[in-house]
Structure 1
Amino acid sequence: MEYKLYLQHKRIIPTATKRRWSDSQKGFRKHYKTWLQDPMHQDATSNCEEESSSHCNKPPHHSTDDTSESEEEEWDELNTTLHHNMQGESDNENEQNWHMTPPKDPTMDVEGHGNMDNNADENPRAVKDKIYPTARITKEESQLSILSYALRHTTTKSALGDLLDLINLHCPEGTNGAPNSLYMFMKEFDCNSFEIVYICPTCHHYFGNEIPANCASCGSEPGDKNSLIESGDMFMKLSIRKQLEEKILDSEFKTALDYKWTRVKSSPDSVQDIFDGAMYKSVDLLNDPGQFNLSLTWNVDGVPIFKSSPFHIWPIQVVINELPPDMRNKHVLLAGLWFGASKPEMNYFLQAFVDECIQLEQEGLLVQHRGQSTQMRVFNLVCVCDSVARCSVQNTKQFNGEYGCNWCYKKGEIVAKGNGFTRVYASQQRDARPRTHSQHFDDVKRAVETGTCVNGVKGPSPLMFLMYFNMILGFSFDYMHGILLGVSRQFTTLWFDSMYHGERWYLGRLVTTIDQRLFKIKPPVNITRPPRSVRLRKFWKASEYRNFLLFYSIPCLIGILPSDYLEHLLLLVQATYCLLKDDMSSHDIDVAEHLLKTFVSRFERLYGKCHVSFNVHILEHAAQSVRNWGPLWCQSAFIFESHNGTLQKLFHGTQAVPEQIVNSFSLFQSVPRLFSTVYNGSVKKTSTYFVERMLRGYKLATNCVKKNKHNISGLTYTKSTNTKGGVSVTRAKHSC
């Protein structure tokens, strides 16, 4: 009680009193160290947060039943003195040793791991690199943790700068702490790995990195770089070479590229992946076990980024085919980014991308493979996109124009529909011969000479300069847009839209009954979206249309939809299932092709000629696309559409949107390299688990955090798991 009285009356503490208190502290400290070394009491120490502070800090001999009230009070007084600085003489060394139960790390509680930091055996250099002498993390670990936090929560630059200031307030003055400014923090990371490519604001002629005084095409003065950036007459180009070089440094990524040689096939002729397609096999440099080459599948599509503005981004995204299917969606490369209120001039937008692809085809890049340096060449083989983007990339007429099909010469015809007209592709039309690569070049030549469209071809495309890219078969059939968001959505409109209330197929009056059946279905865990009412069909995602077509439609519509319409629907369900199998034979593909052709031919008789849309017509080309490029799931746009959603989260505000997206993407891509550099296979520390928790589930930052043999920064590779772009099957590789 002496100490409290002196503090209350603010009296000067006599030297004798301070000496008596110091002796008391030394005696207790000696006893406390002995008690702390006892293993039986170390477990009790970790549970102190569950008890009150006055009891959890007591040594055992003070907590027995025969302890007197006076001893309890003495302990309370002494415990109070341990948490205050004494006036007058103080022993700093003693104060540093008075660590009662250390606070528990919340990250450890979440992950369920103990504290694995071992500060006792750290070398002097590790101590020097710490943000301050008694800290648990080094400067590099601190920066990586801050970066992972900022990426996880999509922190703005202003918020990140404030976070750095806040961290520095908690660090002792004169220590490493956090960088003093956002500029110094970002300087530690390579986030400017892009080029700005300029185009003419008048005629959209391609300039490249330098702006001429006058445009060579129209003769106008384009202006300076700042004016072109402000007007949006430019786009971002990212180097595929640099992204590949950084990923190749990861030994696990490099090992995964041998997947096509290590996989086990049920039979030599079975079709299980893109490697079994005829077009892939036609490239000898990709089928030689002595060569270490790669092939690419890419996509370009418009993504709206504002709800009240017409501005879009158009990213060029690339996937490496040689990776295992469960890893492809975790290593998507970004090759270019267009931002504007209108569609890009596709020929100019693709020019920079094609130039680098040509360089990768011819020169490749030097890598270490199997203990020796080898030249790895990269081939651009497949383009996956919807019908709108496909026509722009191929430089042909849109699907609603004459000769709008990208794979055959069917012209189509105009018929009345509702209050207007539409172009349909009836199965009885003649001249449905398939297009070929050589004939496309002839059509391009004639279109350039005459200045008119020839068989739907407007003119040349930069893709024609790629040696191994087929201008017809290089565009695969995308079942996400063709079947799910195309024919399946069209079916739900025909069945439930009141516009067709007088037709035999109309089911709008039985929506309640169908919903009751739908809600009784309990899908397995690998179907991530539960069934939603058909009244909400305009909000359905592609995966929901996939689930409805393959799993729900027949049980929900049997006995409700007329039998001839139900049998017609079964043709599409069975054919789609066959082409999505993870192991199919040539006979399966032939059966699916026959089912689809029968489906298309009956469509006109059942639903009318005006409903034979372009999406219905291109079903006839689906089976051939599988012969060329493997099952439908490995040539779908699910990967790219999912990644589009990620890109939408990489910017804040409305200024310099493409720069924000590209910088954030580069930061995400740098995380694996930083992670391996900072931790370098060492024992996991507190900060390691924090970074894992921040980046778990983020596809852009994958391959940096691993747990056992699974990559916990993305979809877990487990058996019979299929979450994106495929159906419920027995192989985890359908996760793409």
Structure 2
Amino acid sequence: MEEMMVPLHEHDADEIESGRTEENSDSSEWDHFLNRLNEVESVEENLDHQSDSDTDSDIESVFDPVDKTEELGGELAAWSSKWKVKANAFTALLTLLNVYFPRLPKDSRTVMKTPRSLDVKEIGGGSYFHFGIVAMLTNIVPAFSHLVLRGTRLLIQVNIDGLPLFKSSGIQLWPILGRVCQPFQSEPFVIGLFCGKQKPTILGEYLDDFVSEMGQLQRGPIDVGLGDPVNDVNIACFICDAPARAFIKQVKGHSGYYGCEKCKQKGSWEGRVVFTCTSIDAPKRENEDFRVRAELRDTNHQIGVSPLLRLSLGMVSQFPLDYMHLVCLGVVKRLLSYLIKSPVQKGLRLGSAVIVEISQCLKSIREYLPREFNRKCRSLDELDRWKATEFRQFMLYSGVVAMKGRLKDVFY
């Protein structure tokens, strides 16, 4: 330090002084530089008066990595969760860091506090594990604490559906998913998870943990990590497709004569069950009527008693119809199929040249679609492989342009 500072003080300062005069810089900046130089020299003198051991101990007290181990572990766990780092990659990183932080665990399971055992229940047709609504909310709600006020209602959307895992095996998952939709919108989280070769054969066992916990939340306040308990946690609605709705509500499917979930109109057989246009005046189904008919074992519409009846839940009003399957994969796909594949004698089918023009128009639109659209337009040749978002985009945006002038006015 002494060898470095003396040349700077004796020679470099003179050169800087002459340069300062030539450049007409502000004198206060030069005074500030000299003051800092004096401070450095005074620190050097103080260090010379201390022993080497005292200096080393002071440095270690400032830069001791052990003092930060617990804090670092928590930050690494949050980082791993945020970026979805694989467990083996996280473990490899911990092994490298352990050289510099000896008290830092070497295994990712220790840092992430992964449970050593799980309470997996064997129920009808497979295995079920309940993650818990409160446990999931405790991880999510604190991040939105600025939006959760005293007395605020927490409303949760629930989704239940089947998910095949392999093409070569019948093993499938039936997760119970949740998502906070009020007073903020969260990412989906898993409430419970069923795994088996078929859907749960005993609905009561499958929904028992969910219904029991949700019933407790509807009755009283819970602590979700905000200090003050949240008094009102409830279900906003169930978002399911038609087969899943029929399964958890224990009603007849959409192809049944009394399969409509919103009215009491009886369908008629015309090669398949259809509901005529007169059904728009049919009596509506009501929440209370649904409960009464379940108790009376009315088999016209209901085939059993759903465990969800134990909750304060509108079995009609809180089960909205599935827009994706009904409209995007239903109506829009069927209309396009009629225009492309229907028999010529019906007068609906488009000519091959027109279909090519529409396909070329759709492909030309691709480069102008903003990134907010999940999928780009594809040709009508690949209609059977279109996803629901592509049908939605065609219906609301690109189809309006591609069909103009190429479709009869009455159809357009």
TM-score grouping bracket, smaller chain normalisation: 0.7 to 0.9
Out of 268, 293, 308, the position equivalent to 1:443 is 293
The letter for the 1-side match of 2:174 is: W
Q: Are the equivalent residues in 1 in contact too, given 2:179–2:187 (CA < 8 A)?
A: yes
- What is aligned with 1:360? 217
Q: What's the CA shift for 1:357?
A: 0.6
Q: For this pair of structures, how many residues does the alignment match? A: 361
TM-score (norm 2): 0.76
- What is aligned with 1:646? none
**How does 1:183-262 map onto structure 2 within 5 Å?**
185-192=108-115, 195-199=119-123, 204=124, 233-250=126-143, 253-257=144-148
The letter for the 2-side match of 1:507 is: L
Taking the aligned partners of 1:511 and 1:476, their CA distance within structure 2 comes to 36
**How does 1:583-732 map onto structure 2 within 5 Å?**
none
2:39 pairs with 1:179: no
The letter for the 1-side match of 2:300 is: N
SS at match of 2:411: helix
SS at match of 1:255: helix
- What is aligned with 1:128? 65
- Note closer, same or farther for the CA distance 1:556–1:366 as it changes in structure 2 (3 Å cut): same
Deviation track 1:313-355 (CA, whole Å, cap 9, x = no partner) reads 111111222134xxx2x43232111111211233321221111
Out of 150, 156, 173, the position equivalent to 1:296 is 156
Out of 334, 338, 357, the position equivalent to 1:494 is 338
- What is aligned with 1:457? 302
Q: What's the CA shift for 1:383?
A: 0.8
- What is aligned with 1:712? none
- Note closer, same or farther for the CA distance 1:350–1:122 as it changes in structure 2 (3 Å cut): farther
Q: Are the equivalent residues in 2 in contact too, given 1:394–1:461 (CA < 8 A)?
A: yes
SS at match of 1:563: coil
SS at match of 1:321: strand
Taking the aligned partners of 2:401 and 2:345, their CA distance within structure 1 comes to 24
| Greater mean deviation of Cα atoms: 349-358 or 428-437 | 428-437
Q: What's the CA shift for 1:187?
A: 2.4
- What is aligned with 1:633? none
- What is aligned with 1:349? 206
SS at match of 1:399: coil
The letter for the 1-side match of 2:169 is: S
- Note closer, same or farther for the CA distance 1:34–1:539 as it changes in structure 2 (3 Å cut): farther
Q: What's the CA shift for 1:125?
A: 6.5
**How does 1:36-435 map onto structure 2 within 5 Å?**
124=61, 127-129=64-66, 138=69, 140-141=71-72, 144-145=75-76, 148=79, 152=83, 155=86, 157=88, 161=91, 164-165=94-95, 171=99, 176=102, 179-180=105-106, 182=107, 185-192=108-115, 195-199=119-123, 204=124, 233-250=126-143, 253-257=144-148, 291-324=151-184, 328=185, 330-345=186-201, 346-366=203-223, 373-416=228-271, 422-428=272-278, 432-435=282-285
Deviation track 1:260-293 (CA, whole Å, cap 9, x = no partner) reads xxxxxxxxxxxxxxxxxxxxxxxxxxxxxx7333
The letter for the 1-side match of 2:72 is: E
Q: Are the equivalent residues in 2 in contact too, given 1:295–1:379 (CA < 8 A)?
A: yes
- What is aligned with 2:386? 540
Q: Are the equivalent residues in 2 in contact too, given 1:294–1:379 (CA < 8 A)?
A: yes
Q: What's the CA shift for 1:472?
A: 0.9
Out of 494, 502, 507, the position equivalent to 2:350 is 507
Out of 355, 361, 366, the position equivalent to 1:517 is 361
| Greater mean deviation of Cα atoms: 423-432 or 528-537 | 423-432
Identity %: 25
Taking the aligned partners of 2:158 and 2:351, their CA distance within structure 1 comes to 40
Name structure 1 gaps, 5 residues minimum: 1-25, 39-92, 94-120, 131-136, 205-231, 259-289, 417-421, 448-452, 567-736
SS at match of 2:348: coil
- Note closer, same or farther for the CA distance 1:155–1:347 as it changes in structure 2 (3 Å cut): same
- What is aligned with 1:558? 404
Taking the aligned partners of 1:313 and 1:474, their CA distance within structure 2 comes to 24
Deviation track 1:71-113 (CA, whole Å, cap 9, x = no partner) reads xxxxxxxxxxxxxxxxxxxxxx9xxxxxxxxxxxxxxxxxxxx
Deviation track 1:156-192 (CA, whole Å, cap 9, x = no partner) reads 54x6555554655xx36xx517534x3xx31233333
- Note closer, same or farther for the CA distance 1:352–1:34 as it changes in structure 2 (3 Å cut): farther
TM-score (norm 1): 0.44
Q: Are the equivalent residues in 2 in contact too, given 1:437–1:470 (CA < 8 A)?
A: yes
- What is aligned with 2:49? none
SS at match of 2:269: strand
Deviation track 1:339-390 (CA, whole Å, cap 9, x = no partner) reads 1121123332122111111100102214787xx8455221123111111111
Q: What's the CA shift for 1:299?
A: 0.8
SS at match of 1:564: coil
The letter for the 1-side match of 2:299 is: V
Q: Are the equivalent residues in 1 in contact too, given 2:156–2:237 (CA < 8 A)?
A: yes
Q: What's the CA shift for 1:477?
A: 2.5
Q: Are the equivalent residues in 2 in contact too, given 1:195–1:238 (CA < 8 A)?
A: no
Taking the aligned partners of 1:123 and 1:439, their CA distance within structure 2 comes to 74
Q: Are the equivalent residues in 2 in contact too, given 1:194–1:239 (CA < 8 A)?
A: no
Q: Are the equivalent residues in 2 in contact too, given 1:409–1:455 (CA < 8 A)?
A: no
Taking the aligned partners of 2:59 and 2:314, their CA distance within structure 1 comes to 59
- What is aligned with 1:672? none
- What is aligned with 1:526? 372
Q: Are the equivalent residues in 2 in contact too, given 1:301–1:385 (CA < 8 A)?
A: yes
Taking the aligned partners of 2:316 and 2:388, their CA distance within structure 1 comes to 26
Taking the aligned partners of 2:383 and 2:60, their CA distance within structure 1 comes to 63
Taking the aligned partners of 1:245 and 1:160, their CA distance within structure 2 comes to 24
Name structure 2 gaps, 5 residues minimum: 13-51, 53-57
- Note closer, same or farther for the CA distance 1:428–1:122 as it changes in structure 2 (3 Å cut): farther
Q: What's the CA shift for 1:463?
A: 1.1
What value does the CA root-mean-square deviation take over the aligned residues? 3.5
Taking the aligned partners of 2:63 and 2:384, their CA distance within structure 1 comes to 58
Taking the aligned partners of 1:524 and 1:397, their CA distance within structure 2 comes to 42
Taking the aligned partners of 1:553 and 1:301, their CA distance within structure 2 comes to 30
